[in-house]
Amino acid sequence: MSVKRLKKDDTLLVVIDFQERLMPAMYEKEELEDKMVKLAKGARVMGIPVLVSQQYTKGLGPTIPSIAEALGEFTPFDKTSFSVMKHPEMAEAVRAAGCRNVILAGIESHICVEQSALDLLEEGYQVFICGDCVSSRKPVDVRMAKSRMKEAGAVYTSMEAILFELCGGAKEAGFKDISAIIK
């Protein structure tokens, strides 16, 4: 079994559907939002490329302001498919990023995140699920999605673990910024 490690020059962050009409219904939404803001800020510090999807923006609204602000400038992919890899332009953007590792964060765990993870794994990517940056309306759906994605080969980890793994050490560029974000 090969060890799956995040390396900042070979990692892409995919942010899935943190939208205005979806977020209020999410389980533990305040903690989810807080952790996602930190992940987005940390990804910017580490120079990790980021792709953002929105599910049927006309009906579900844009990415919520706190996360949009933390992400910085981005153009979301407006999708109707559940998997980001079933949206042709977004799938092409994922491939064009040229990264072997894909971090997934988003909602809902058991629908769009899970289907994206399965498709990415099927295409040979190493998938890392940021466990504290994914949620669903019901805790049981979060648990079931976690089980299925892990069984399929995704690595489940946390926002803090991801950011410090990408940083690599206390003497590395970005360490102080990452530490400040985590606090």
- Looking at the DSSP bridge assignments, the partners of residue 127 are 102
Question: What pLDDT score was predicted for residue 97?
Answer: 97
Strands (E), 44-163: 50-55, 77-79, 101-107, 126-135, 155-157
User: What domains appear along the chain, each with residue ranges and CATH number?
Assistant: 8-182 (3.40.50.850)
- Rounded Cα distance, 122 and 128, in Å: 14
Give how far Cα 37 sits from Cα of 64, 67, 148, Å: 10, 5, 26
Question: What pLDDT score was predicted for residue 84?
Answer: 98
Q: What is the mean pLDDT of each run of 10 residues along the chain (183 residues)?
A: 83 98 97 98 97 96 98 96 98 98 98 98 98 98 98 97 94 92 91
What's this model's pTM, rounded to 2 decimal places? Answer: 0.97
Question: What pLDDT score was predicted for residue 1?
Answer: 52
